[in-house]
Amino acid sequence: MTMNNDTLLKVDNLKTYFPTRTGLFKAVDDVSFELKRGKTLCVVGESGSGKSVTARSILQIVDRPGRIEDGSIVLTRGDGSSVDLAKLDPRGKEIRGVRGKEIAMIFQEPMSSLSPVHRIGAQIGEALRIHFGIRGKAQRDRVLELLRQVEIPRPETAIDRYTFEFSGGMRQRVMIAMALACNPQVLIADEPTTALDVTTQAEILDLIKRLQHSHGMAVLFITHDMGVVAEIADEVLVMYRGKVMERGSVEQIFHAPKDDYTRRLIGSVVKLEKKAEVRLTRSEIPVGAPPLLAVKNLSLTFPSGLKAVDDVSLIVRAGETLGIVGESGSGKTTMGRCLLRIYDPQAGAMNYRRADGSTVDLCSADKTTLKDVRHDIRMIFQDPVGSLSPRKTVGQIIAEPLKLAGVKGRSLDDRVSELMQQVGLEPAWRERYPHAFSGGQRQRIGIARAIALKPRLIVADEATSALDVSLRSQMLDLMMKLQDELGLSYVFISHDMSVIRYMCDRVAVMYRGKIVEAGETDQVVNNPAHDYTRALLSAIPHPDPRNRRIHNRFRYDPARTVSANG
């Protein structure tokens, strides 16, 4: 076997299968790649493409009953010796010597991949103890050094803390410190930033990149986000249903993709880079007309004392889409739920102008008024699984609001069929249950339910964030089509600036319960006035490897409000 000196890990014709009741599920089907010293290989694909199983196969930690059927995974050690990991016993001593020491792994979920009952120091030190027998003072010193490397503030106190005292980003840093503990040659990162906010994601990507350079590691980075790929990858492996669709340098994948699937994947991301075409040619929304909904000084404080919504004022004009953008914990979801009085705000006013021209304050509306208004203002939920009752057929789910509004018999059936067609579902599927539908189709069911009563305003709470990238633009296009057909207004809540830019007319940026900036989308995106907006925008991964900017971004520090380069 001839191998380049720089190739640390060579995977050939890897096949990992899961035997199931009805046959064999080929999670990884004939995958080959190489990891080179100091280089990053990104494995990209949608959910279910087998990218995580590929990574787990390398360390032989595939969940039962899956197993490696064929192929080789050759690891070249520092001393020149090599070993085929695929042939090792998954519970044997040899593979355990490789795990953590030669090849380390970072997982997606920083909440569950760290133990809540051990201190940070003990968890990081464990690998040192197992592989090198380092204990006591020496161990503590090394852990402190590692914590410093991953830029955890005040490592001397952090080392004795528990994981639940840290935020998601900090936990992911701890995970990285654990992974680095034994100076591994290869780092496998399985969607390490998917559960994080976009600004935190940028920090973590930055950190991994820097550590890779200083340690000379090969990184296998698994992600579904083409933007992240463009920012960090040297080489890219595109996977679809267990098979490799395309493999090449990042430059080649993005600028000269050969495979149709790759092209589609990139296309769906690039499409979200600018405003939707249908929105470019739309006639202006009259500015002077009285707003559909005017929110004034809305405030909600949770019993825990958290000010989720803090003196928020905004307006929604008839026919427009107002985007609310912010990171997790910014209060945007709570604010959206206040609009429908799922939560009762403690102060402020929400003046809603009804179809007959009269206005009603939703904050003080009584039960019957609220019931009426809720026909006009509807909601689309984030979770396409949880928002549909699994025990009702799709027809029943869509018919429910109509039934409660008094629609009966034949006209009910007709209306349900019509709605299903409108959102792109076959009316013949009405007898099916939600479990028979994919995430995108379920979200369409949710949209059908929302528009059933011909509403005027729809609050869409992260309606696309649970969907794969390729489905996102489809869903947004559908929502805009319905907007034009039905004359809808949207309040579109999202953490994803690209989705906002694609679809929203105006945008309000929320930070810690307050609206820090609001305005026309073009203006906010191209010329942000507030530092937080700038930080948010500059942290978005840009799907062009020729124009990497995430490492050179703007950071927002509310205490100091200064800019810093990474």
Partner 1 sequence: MTDITQLPPETGTSIDLHRSDIAVAGQWRLFWLKFKKHKIALASLVVIVFMYLVAAFADFIAPFDPNATNARFTYAPPQGISLLLDGSLRPHVNQLKMTLNTESMRREFTPDPAKPIPVGFFVPAAQPYTLLGFIPMRTKLFGLTNPMPGDSMYIFGADRLGRDIFSRVVHGAQISLSIGLVGVFMSLILGVTIGGISGFFGGWADIAIQRFIELLRSIPTIPLWMGLAAAIPVGWPPLRTYFVITLIVSLIGWTSLAREVRGKFLSLRNEDFVIAARLDGMSELGIIFHHLVPSFMSHIIATLTLAIPSMILAETALSFLGVGLQPPIISWGVLLQEAQNIRAVAQAPWLLFTPAAAIVISVLSLNFLGDGLRDAADPYESVS
- Nearest one of 205, 212, 215, 201 to 169, comparing CA atoms: 201
Among the candidate windows 38-46, 393-401, 466-474, 502-510, which touches partner 1 by CB under 8 A?
A: 393-401
Separation in Å, CA 407 to CA 197, 414, 429: 43, 10, 21
Q: 239, 253, 388, 516: which one contacts partner 1 (CB under 8 A)?
A: 388
Sign of CA dihedral 342, 344, 349, 353: positive
- 132 is a site residue for partner 1 (CB under 8 A): no
CA gap 150, 411 in Å, rounded: 63
CB of 24 or CB of 347, closer to partner 1: 24
Bridge partners for 240 per DSSP? 243
- 162 is a site residue for partner 1 (CB under 8 A): no
CA gap 125, 103 in Å, rounded: 17
**Least distance to partner 1, CB of residue 66, Å:** 11
Q: What φ, ψ does residue 25 adopt, rounded to 5°?
A: -95, 115
> Would you state the structure tokens that stand for residue 203, as one six-digit string?
């920090």
> Which amino acid would we find at residue 178?
M
**Least distance to partner 1, CB of residue 463, Å:** 12
Count the helices and strands in the chain (H runs, E runs): 20, 20
Q: 65, 290, 390, 487: which one contacts partner 1 (CB under 8 A)?
A: 390
- 288 is a site residue for partner 1 (CB under 8 A): no
CB of 169 or CB of 345, closer to partner 1: 345
Sign of CA dihedral 431, 434, 437, 442: positive
- Taking CB atoms within 8 Å and a gap of at least 24, the contacts of 131-136 are 131/97, 131/100, 131/101, 131/182, 132/182
CB of 39 or CB of 495, closer to partner 1: 495
Query: Contact, 293 vs 457, CB < 8 A?
Result: yes
- Nearest one of 335, 265, 316 to 510, comparing CA atoms: 335
Pattern 409-448, partner 1, x by CB under 8 A: --------------------x-xxxxxx---------x--
Query: Contact, 506 vs 519, CB < 8 A?
Result: yes
Pattern 312-341, partner 1, x by CB under 8 A: ----------------------------x-
CB of 140 or CB of 449, closer to partner 1: 449
**Least distance to partner 1, CB of residue 65, Å:** 12
CB of 186 or CB of 459, closer to partner 1: 459
Q: 50, 401, 528, 541: which one contacts partner 1 (CB under 8 A)?
A: 401
Among the candidate windows 196-204, 305-313, 371-379, 481-489, which touches partner 1 by CB under 8 A?
A: 371-379
> Which amino acid would we find at residue 280?
L
Instruction: Return the residues of window 495-524 that contact partner 1 according to CB under 8 A.
Output: none
- 342 is a site residue for partner 1 (CB under 8 A): yes
Q: 17, 33, 221, 511: which one contacts partner 1 (CB under 8 A)?
A: 17
Q: 51, 279, 378, 542: which one contacts partner 1 (CB under 8 A)?
A: 378
Among the candidate windows 161-169, 310-318, 381-389, 414-422, which touches partner 1 by CB under 8 A?
A: 381-389
Instruction: Return the residues of window 49-78 that contact partner 1 according to CB under 8 A.
Output: 69-70
**Least distance to partner 1, CB of residue 267, Å:** 26
**Least distance to partner 1, CB of residue 451, Å:** 13
- 26 is a site residue for partner 1 (CB under 8 A): yes
Q: What φ, ψ does residue 516 adopt, rounded to 5°?
A: -90, -25
Is it true that the peptide bond before 65 is cis, omega within 30 degrees of 0? yes
Q: 3, 24, 289, 486: which one contacts partner 1 (CB under 8 A)?
A: 24
Among the candidate windows 222-230, 298-306, 389-397, 499-507, which touches partner 1 by CB under 8 A?
A: 389-397
Among the candidate windows 125-133, 400-408, 473-481, 520-528, which touches partner 1 by CB under 8 A?
A: 400-408
Q: Which strands make up the sheet holding 235-240, listed edge to edge? A: 103-106, 186-190, 218-223, 40-44, 235-240, 243-249
Q: Find the DSSP H helices in 405-461.
A: 409-422, 439-451
Among the candidate windows 35-43, 200-208, 397-405, 530-538, which touches partner 1 by CB under 8 A?
A: 397-405
DSSP type of residue 119: B
Q: What φ, ψ does residue 518 adopt, rounded to 5°?
A: -145, 150
Q: By the criterion CB under 8 A, which residues form the site for partner 1?
A: 15, 17-18, 20-26, 69-70, 86-87, 340, 342, 371, 374-375, 378-379, 381-383, 385-391, 393, 400-401, 404-405, 429, 431-436, 446, 449
